[in-house]
Structure 1
Amino acid sequence: MKIEYPPEINNLRTWGLATVAAFASGMIGYDSAFVGGTLALPAFLREFGTLDKDTSSNLVSTYQAGAFFGAFAAYPTGVYLGRKWGLFAASLIFTVGSIIMTIASNNTGLGPIYGGRAIAGLAIGMASNLAPTYLSEIAPTAIRGRLIGMWEVGWQVGAIIGFWINYGVKQHQPDTSDSQWRIPYGFQLVPGALLLFGTLTMIESPRWLLTRGREEEAVRNLEKIRKLPASDPYLVDELALCRESIRAEREVVGASFWGPIRYTFGQSKLRYRMLIASSLFAFQNGTGINAINYYSPTVFRALGLTGTSTALLTTGVFGIIKGLGSVIWILWLIEQLGRRKILMGGAFGGSICMFWIAIYIAVSKVGTPGHTSGELSAGGRSALAAFYLWTLFYGSTWNGTPWCYSAEMFPTASRSVGMTIAAASNWLYNFAISKATPAAFAWSNYGFFLIFACLMVVSIPYVFFVLPETRQVPLERMDDLFATRPVWRAGEIILNDIAQSEKPSDNLPRAHPDTLERSGNNRDDGVSTPERKDEGSQKGLDVETGDARNY
């Protein structure tokens, strides 16, 4: 199905706002990449002493614990401060935490690093909730997928920088200088400052302004974001749909702070979807990604790579490949294959790679006393190639899809609460992985990879039997989608029903008549017929989507 949009909506201002919001994920990506490598730097060990597995896991997991609570703190912050000032507050808190970490020394011990990571984690949890929400609220339907994809781009750019910062300081800073470890910690201030000052240029979400009764400001902001006057039929229709959505939401949950919470937890169908969202992040961590992110030098030593510089260089390549996978996901896969095929295909390919790595380590006993050499064997090189192939599978499938799926599956009245649970689940499983990984390696280095391979295999039937396909399904039809059986055909059934429908749905507001006249092909149920035939079709923006809504 093709839907026509005015080309003005795809403008530099919209992309600029998305870039600012992506600075939030840049903070997250940088931390996930730099911390494990920094803990292995000779200068850090000289400053604070050799770290046992409990200390290293505590240093990493303190951040995830803070982020878990920050995800919940984002809900009242977003309700009362809005998206713009909520992100400003998160960036300010993150900056404070980064400064506290950087001023630690052998005189203070690890206390400032523990405290700073908890504070920075709190900010990260807030940002991981508020930034995707902001992106979804300002994005026009025509480019929504790619705009929300900027969240993943920011994450991967931050990760790549974090990996290579560690390699750079190891190469160019002496092992006896505290600059070797302070530079990676201090560099956290860069993405934090970019978000801090970037939020001052942000335009507040028009939808949030409408929920607060600030009608005139909402209209002005939407004019700025869309580069269209308020009298334009597209904006007239968008505002009408947004007002109707908010009105319907308030009829269901009311306008109170606790209304959406009571409504979401009071509905069995929504509790079920929260469970699905949480499970997706459990399986995402079950791929092994965060264990590798946070303890990458340890992972590569398990493959037989020796030397801090070698491990850091290999980790930097890992970051680049993961970023490449995310680009493939954003530009091609997410809208072409759909969510289910992406997740099952990524799990299948990734599990084969992890099984091969586990078999190699178990047979060669690499990394154990008497079985470590300075060079990789032919088997070791094949295991490293399998690891990089796994990275590509993960980066182009499980990396961003759980965030996308979670944002789509909840109705408007419960989306903020549902995303809070999804974000908190992500950080809860991050915390568990960061605590368990050092002990898992101490128990069995090949078992570490074997566990993740098995979890990926388990995720395949789970996705097939539990997750309906959300691709092209309008947000307003999610209740119908999740009620349709069989699950593996639910998306197809709903899309066929939409295509064959001849009357407006009782659940969807009618499109504004001016828009119907302008497009010439939109039925008043919000669904587009295949093609426009009028001359103005050359000026529109064609997109392959079944969602004719902006909010």
Structure 2
Amino acid sequence: MGLKKVEDRPTPSAVYNLCVASSLASTAACPILIGYDSAFFGTSVALTSFKNEFGADNVASNSAWLVSCYQLGALAGSLLALPCAFYFGRRWGLLASALVFTLGAGIMLAADGERGFAPIYAGRVIAGLGIGAASNLTPLYISEIAPPAIRGQLVGMYEIGWQIGGLIGFWINYGVSEQLAVSHKQWLIPFAVQLIPGGLFAIGIPFFIKESPRWLISRGRRDEAIKNLCYLRKLEYNDPYLVQEVNDIDLQVENDRTAVGPGFFAPIRHLFSRGYLFRRMLTTAGLFCLQNGTGINAINYYSPTIFRSIGVTGGNTSLFTTGLFGVVKTVASLIWAFLLIDHLGRTKLLMIGSAGCSVSMFIVGGYIAIGKPQNKTTSSLDSGGVAAIFFLYLWTTFYAITWNGTPWVVNAEAFPGSVRQVTQCLAASSNWLWNFAIARATPTMFEQMGAGGYGVYIFFACFTVMSIPYVFFLLPETKNVPLEEMDRLFLDPHPWSANKRVLAALRRERADRADPNNKEELLFDPHASAQQKTQPRQDFVEDV
């Protein structure tokens, strides 16, 4: 697949194949949809044609709710995805999500000056339901089918899809503003473009996505799970690599059943009654609060307002500057996914990003407070304004190569299978909750936090600084640690150095298992039940 790999064990080259890539490509439409909405909607409501049709004052008074009702729908959808994933699996849950989103996107197209905002409100809530559920299921599915050595990169591709969607959204609005006359069609086209990735998402799932082998084994469909895993890894059922992977999954599922028990509510009770898991969930889900506290969704949804606060004037100039913001973010995200996430690691990236983002935001806020670009009478940027634009783009670069996708990677891989569906649901819900809070509050913040809104930038900078000790003292590095060993990692009393100790212990254990005098592994039958081939491990801690 062309990705540099850091393998936890010898891995056949066949494991890195187009089957995993096609599954990834089919799910990529989900983040494209999320990214597209974050970019197109704020710039669409800023179009003159939209304001003319619905009334500029009406748009201004409703903009915060028009933006944030989508996040409310997504918050509900991320919660509803939990029973869907448990009872119906990842594949059919994703298909239902795609169909619901497409319905909502279609309803939005009924809006006009006569009907008012009602179709947009209804359509955005329904589309949000679908995309919220998909945002829960997509990283979960990718993390369960990805080979460990490139798991971070593949989950990271979720974020790349997000940035591609955002890039399209920014430039679609710039294109219609440049090429089309001010009319109903001008603002409607960006709304209609949502149907393209939505339709591709729905069509691709039945053809290219195989159900997660982990979910199938947890539901007692072991033969089907082995068949799907053979397809995904392009290996025979008796290949030693695949045998060990099935063995690891079996062990985990059996221990999950022993530790948690059967039924939909069992993992929920287990998560909330086990202090060590509950604390881990709070730590990893809290990353989304810190992520939104950088100011990313204020910039995504209100980018014309952001650039005007720095002194960029003129509708098309503002849209062009916003489009360049999308380009920088997309390029930096590609660097993050292919060069950084599985090599530099998660925690180092987050702390480096926090330092760079906070310094950049302090400088932009300082310029607005001292230079007062909101009072200038010329349309050209002075040297301070040019510097502020540079540091905003520098902020974008630091954010995109660090905080943009890393919280999704950490949450997708940090929990045992017994509670992963629940924790992924809560992670996605945390994302949408804080996304909603920022989207709803940003217009008010710009009105009330200092002349020109300089206090908004200082607020985000201070919030970002707080994330550095949070990550260092609470979050262990998850790079290269198998999903089945995350309990061991997070129970280490020193998170800042736990990764090295856990990986060293795993290497020693695998060396012991590879001892030719150890005959137990040679007797393994990949079609035997988990009970026949092993007893549940006893190294799971009930509480600490």
TM-score when scaled to structure 2? 0.90
Q: Does the 8 Å contact 2:75/2:433 carry over to 1?
A: yes
1:240 touches 1:512 (CA, 8 Å); kept in 2? no
1:224 and 2:226 equivalent? no
Q: CA deviation at 1:234?
A: 2.5
2:133 to 105, 111, 126: 126
**Percent identical residues:** 49
Deviations 1:204-253 (A, max 9, x none): 22222222222332222222222222233322332222222211111111
Q: CA deviation at 1:499?
A: 4.3
What corresponds to 2:218 in structure 1? 211
In 2, the alpha carbon distance for the partners of 1:230 and 1:200 equals 24
> What aligned pairs does 1:296-335 form with structure 2 within 5 A after superposition?
296-335=303-342
Residue 336 of structure 1 deviates from its aligned partner by 1.9
Distance 1:230 1:460 in 2: 45
* 1:304–1:366 Cα contact (<8 Å) kept: yes
- Amino acid across the alignment from 2:255: A
CA distance in 2, matches of 1:35, 1:511: 59
Note closer, same or farther for the CA distance 1:4–1:144 as it changes in structure 2 (3 Å cut).
same
* Residues 1:54 and 1:490: Cα distance change in structure 2 (over 3 Å): farther
Q: Name which of 419, 424, 432 aligns with 2:424.
A: 419
Instruction: Give the C-alpha shift of residue 372 in structure 1.
Output: 4.1
Which residue identity is paired with 1:154? Answer: G
- The answer to whether 1:356 aligns with 2:370 is no
Aligned to 2:467: 459
- Could you say which residue in structure 1 is the equivalent of 2:171? 164
Partners of 1:2 and 1:289 lie apart in 2 by 34
Q: Is the 8 A contact 1:306 1:373 kept in 2?
A: no
1:17 aligns with 2:26: no
Aligned: 1:470 with 2:475: no
Match of 1:62 in 2: 69
Q: Which amino acid aligns with 2:23?
A: L
Which residue does 1:31 correspond to in 2? 37
Unaligned segments of structure 2, at least 5 residues: 1-6, 514-518, 525-544
Aligned counterpart for 1:487 among listed residues 492, 495, 503 = 495
Partner SS for 1:66: helix
Identify unmatched segments of 5+ residues in structure 1: 505-509, 516-551
- Mapping of 1:228-377 within 5 angstroms? 228-367=235-374, 370-377=375-382
> Which amino acid is 1:39 matched to?
V
Q: Which runs of 4+ in 1 moved over 6 A?
A: none
Structure 2: distance between partners of 1:227 and 1:478: 27
Deviations 1:116-135 (A, max 9, x none): 00000011110001111111
Matched, 1:390 2:395: yes
Q: CA deviation at 1:143?
A: 2.6
Where does residue 138 of structure 1 map in the other structure?
Answer: 145
Count of matched residue positions in the alignment of Structure 1 and Structure 2: 509
> What displacement does 1:152 show?
1.1
Deviation, structure 1 residue 295: 0.5
2:341 counterpart SS class:
helix
Gap change, CA 1:133 and 1:512, over 3 Å in 2: farther
1:448-506 CA-to-partner distances (Å, cap 9, x unmatched) read 111001111111122122212222233333323223233322223333444455767xx
Q: Secondary structure at the match of 1:336?
A: coil
Distance 1:513 1:144 in 2: 28
Indicate the residue corresponding to 2:193 in structure 1.
Answer: 187
**What is the aligned partner in structure 2 of residue 548 from structure 1?**
none
Change (3 A) 1:289 1:333: same
* Alignment deviations for residues 395-437 of structure 1 (CA, whole Å, 9 cap, x no partner): 0000011111112221221111111111100000000001100
Shift of 1:16: 0.8
Summarize the Cα distance change of 1:455–1:483 in structure 2 as closer, same or farther, 3 Å threshold.
same
CA–CA distance in structure 2, aligned partners of residues 490 and 110 of structure 1: 52
Distance 1:103 1:327, change over 3 A: same
451-460 or 44-53, larger mean C-alpha shift: 44-53
Q: Distance in 2 between matches of 1:372 and 1:285?
A: 33
Between the aligned partners of 2:191 and 2:167, the Cα distance in structure 1 is 15
Shift of 1:108: 0.7
User: Could you give the per-residue CA deviations for residues 271-322 of structure 1, whole angstroms, max 9, x where no partner exists?
Assistant: 1111112211001001100010000001000010111111111111111111
Counterpart of 2:522 in structure 1 is: 513
